[in-house]
Amino acid sequence: MPSWLSGTSLPRPLGWVTAAYSAAIIVRPKVLAAPCGFVDSRGEVQREGATVIAAVGARDVASGLAMALVPAGKPKPPRPPSSPNVPPRSVGSRWCSST
What percentage of the chain carries pLDDT values higher than 70?
Answer: 72
Cα–Cα dist 39/48, whole Å: 11
pTM attached to this predicted model: 0.63
Give the model confidence (pLDDT) of 10-43 as tens digits.
Answer: 888 999 999 999 999 999 999 999 888 888 888 8
Tell me if 99 sits within 8 A of 87, measured CB to CB: yes
DSSP letter at 5? G
Domain definitions of the chain by residue range = 10-69
